[in-house]
Amino acid sequence: MREVAAVDPLRSLAREAGSGEGEATRRLIEAVAPSVLRLARMVLGPARDDAEDVAQESLLGFVGALAGFRGECSVLHYACRITVRTAVAARKRQQEHSQQAEAYAQASFAGDDRLPAELPLAARRREIVRGLLDELPGAQAETLALRVILGCSLQEVADATGVPVNTVRSRVRLAKESLRRRIEDDPNLRELLEVAG
Amino acid sequence: MTRVDLHPDELLDPGRLHRLEPEERARLDNHLAGCAACAFELAAAQDFARAAEAGRPEDDPAVARVVEKTMSALGSRVGEAGPVVRRVGGMRWSRRVLLVAAILAMTAAAGAASWYFVLRPLLQRLETSRPPPATCTDAGARETDAVLQQVSPAPAPLPRRGPSALRAPPAPPVETEAPPPSLPVEAVPPPPPPHHPRNPEQVEPPPPVSPVAPGTPSESLLRANELRRGGQFAEAATLYRELQERFPGSRE
């Protein structure tokens, strides 16, 4: 968890916004919107142009969930968790309804033909993670996104998804198994990782 | 289970990477050397973290657009444009008044419905379930009157109840036969008054139980019933038989 502060400056604002205070809601949204939008863009990737819509959907979900916020993490981290889940769900929806996105995801893991060779290594890794989110089952994809993109610990993922830690550990293991198969089946990707190592 | 299946996920938490003990760090490095998945996960997590630090879009105009669209959507959700409406205790006063009025209306409706559909039919059922007063049929009453006229000049006909009693004309007086003129009136003792058990002045000791009662058919029938209830079945049977012989067409 990267954004946790010792004393959460947004806690009182979130309390007021949770009780329906309009001005507090606006200030809270203005405070978390940059991180939410940035996170939505990271999960969705540069190829998607619906990051603002996903960010808005995430903020609406965040405001609606303020009443159930128990203060187990910082307010900003709470908003980011909701954003990751919303963005992963948006990717899943887009994959289901768009044949083009599915073909793009398959091509990404087939041989990186669609990925520009001049892309930095980090950007290629991020794109591989996004493609993996499209292929994994919903719960595994959400767990992987929370852990890799948002940097949540196992316990934080368990709190965010409402499942035991052992369930999170099992989902992480299954996601890694899929990732390992992808790496072994793709010589270009294996070479890329060896070069990076 | 192979070596790569035992991923040290706790050691891979990005927030802990800089707080690992030397032996933990050595164990993690040993695992990463043989597990491409964990190495990829760790590298990708660091990539995303660096991207998050580098690309802070505080001055991005898209942020302002997202904020305005979100606030607008929130305003339309509560039914009003603009910021979220201030609420008192989580609910506006107008909604509280409406809620109380709705509860009162529903309570009144429930009470009326329970009276109309439950209590009132129950009361009606209780009233109708009372035992009806004893009545006699018109045919039976007429037959009894006819028998009375034939058998004995009863002073008063049997009281008739029922709806026909209101419509039917009063029974004609029973014509009594005149006494024989040869007999002097003075010599004739007055006839004994008819037995009327309800007249306290005429209370007499009860006559001995006789199977053949000389009274009216109704009295004979009552007597037979009393005997039967008293366990004197032989005498009751005798009375019933005699009544049947005397009035074969009577329903009683």
- Residue B25: both structure tokens together: 């760090």
Structure tokens at B251: 């329903």
Distance CA A8, CA A75 (A): 7
Residue A167 pLDDT:
92
Euclidean distance between CA atoms A153 and A160, whole angstroms: 10
Contact criterion met (CB below 8 Å) for A79 and A35:
yes
Q: Which residues on A lie below 8 Å from B36 (Cβ)? A: 180, 183-184, 190, 193
Contact with chain A for residue B61, Cβ under 8 A: no
Residue B183 vs residues B82, B133, B186, B187, B189: alpha-carbon distances, Å? 124, 48, 9, 7, 11
Q: Which of A165, A180, A183, A185 to substitute to test the interface with B, most B CBs within 10 Å?
A: A180
For the ranges A98-107, A121-130, B61-70, B143-152, which has the lowest average pLDDT? Answer: A98-107
Q: pLDDT by residue for chain A (197 residues), tens digit each?
A: 444 445 788 888 888 888 888 888 999 999 989 888 888 888 888 777 788 899 999 999 999 888 888 887 888 888 988 998 898 888 888 776 665 555 555 544 443 333 444 457 778 888 888 888 888 888 888 888 888 888 888 888 888 888 899 999 899 889 888 888 888 887 777 776 665 55
* Selected residues 123-182 of chain B with any CB under 8 Å from a CB in chain A: none
Nearest CA in chain A to B61: A34
Contacts of A148 in chain B (CB under 8 A): 41, 44-45, 48
**Domain-wise residue ranges, chain B:** 3-56, 91-128
Q: What percent of chain B has pLDDT over 70?
A: 54
| Nearest residue in chain B measured CA to CA from A21 | B86
Amino acid symbol at B37: A
Residue B141 banded pLDDT, cuts 50, 70, 90: low
Q: Indicate the pLDDT class of residue B223, thresholds 50, 70 and 90.
A: confident
**Closest by CA position to A85, among listed A69, A61, A109:** A61
pLDDT of A57 reads: 92
**Interchain pair B52, A42: CB under 8 A:** yes
Closest CA to A96 of A54, A134, A142, A68: A134
Residue B138's pLDDT band, with cuts at 50, 70 and 90, is: low
- pLDDT band for position B105 (cuts 50, 70, 90): very high
Which residues of chain B make contact with A54, given a CB cutoff of 8 A? none
| Domains of chain A, first to last | 8-97 (1.10.1740.10), 99-197 (1.10.10.10)
Taking an 8 Å cut-off on Cβ atoms, the answer to whether B41 and A148 are in contact is yes
The CA-CA-CA angle for residues B106, B107, B113, to 5°, reads: 85
Helix residue ranges per DSSP H, chain B: 9-12, 22-34, 36-54, 61-77, 93-114, 120-128, 138-151, 163-167, 217-229, 233-246
Confidence band for B83, pLDDT divided at 50, 70 and 90:
very low
Q: Return the residue of A nearest to B73 by Cα.
A: A60
Of B210 and A79, the structure prediction assigns the larger pLDDT to A79
Q: Does B59 contact chain A (CB < 8 Å)?
A: no
Please answer yes or no on whether B74 and A25 come within 8 Å at the CB atom. yes
Q: Give the pLDDT confidence score for residue B55 in this predicted structure.
A: 62
Among B7, B58, B70, B95, pick the best mutation site for testing chain A contact (most A Cβ within 10 A).
B70
Interchain pair B73, A60: CB under 8 A: yes
Q: What is the pLDDT of residue B177?
A: 47
Structure tokens at B128: 């109708």
Taking the C-alpha atoms of residue B84 and residue B78, their distance in angstroms, rounded to an integer, is: 7
**Out of B83-92, B101-110, B139-148, which region has the weakest mean confidence (pLDDT)?**
B83-92
Per-residue confidence (pLDDT) for residue A60, from 0 to 100: 92
Q: What's the pLDDT score for residue B104?
A: 92
The tokens for B218 are 């109704």
Q: Of A60, A176, A184, which is closest to B70 when you measure between CB atoms?
A: A60
Q: Give the pLDDT confidence score for residue B103 in this predicted structure.
A: 93
Q: How many CB pairs below 8 Å do chains A and B form together?
A: 139
Yes or no, beta carbons of B52 and A196 under 8 Å apart? no
Determine the average pLDDT of the residues in B121-141: 70
Using the beta-carbon criterion (under 8 Å), do B37 and A126 form an inter-chain contact? no
CB contact under 8 A, B47 and A180: no
- Nearest CA distance, A128 vs chain B (angstrom): 9
The three-class DSSP label of residue B88 is strand
pLDDT score recorded for residue A118: 42
